[in-house]
Amino acid sequence: MKVLIGELAARTGVSPRSLRYYEKQGLLIPERSVNGYREYPESAVDTVGVVRRLIAAGLCTGTIARVLPCVRAEGAQVVPCAGLVSELAVERARITAQLAELSHSRALLDEVIAAAQ
């Protein structure tokens, strides 16, 4: 069964604009109907879910495009193939560094707020 972009958006909670962006990034590959409408396979619902979880984890769409072809969703968990673990470890280190920077920024704001009270 094929799914049009509006239905895919409704079923996944992702805007049609974001779905078109995912397509441009190579994360979704719809077919085109005779009249030019995007037609997604039923599996696109699961694919969008995986993409959303990976974006929420802090991965950029370029990394997701490399990871997605060998990722399989097992329930709520995303399990990559072994060859990508080192790349994901680099991404994790980048996110950890960002968290440290954010923590430092929050501490500075706490000091400013405390000084003003």
Domain that holds residue 6: 2-116
Which residues touch 54 (CB under 8 Å, ≥6 apart)? 63, 64, 67, 68, 71, 78
- State pTM to two decimals: 0.74
> pLDDT tens digit string along 47-90?
999 899 889 988 889 989 988 887 765 555 667 778 888 888 89
Percentage of residues in the chain with pLDDT exceeding 90?
Answer: 64
Query: What is the distance between the alpha carbons of residues 68 and 52, in angstroms, rounded to a whole number?
Result: 11
At residue 41, does pLDDT exceed 70?
Answer: yes
Average pLDDT, the chain: 90
**Domain tally for the chain?**
1
> pLDDT tens digit string along 97-109?
999 999 999 999 9
Q: For residue 3, which phi and psi values (nearest 5 degrees)? A: -120, 130
**For the purposes of burial, counting CB atoms within 10 Å of the CB of 47, is it exposed (0-12), middle (13-18) or buried (19 or more)?**
buried
The CATH number of residue 96's host domain is 1.10.1660.10
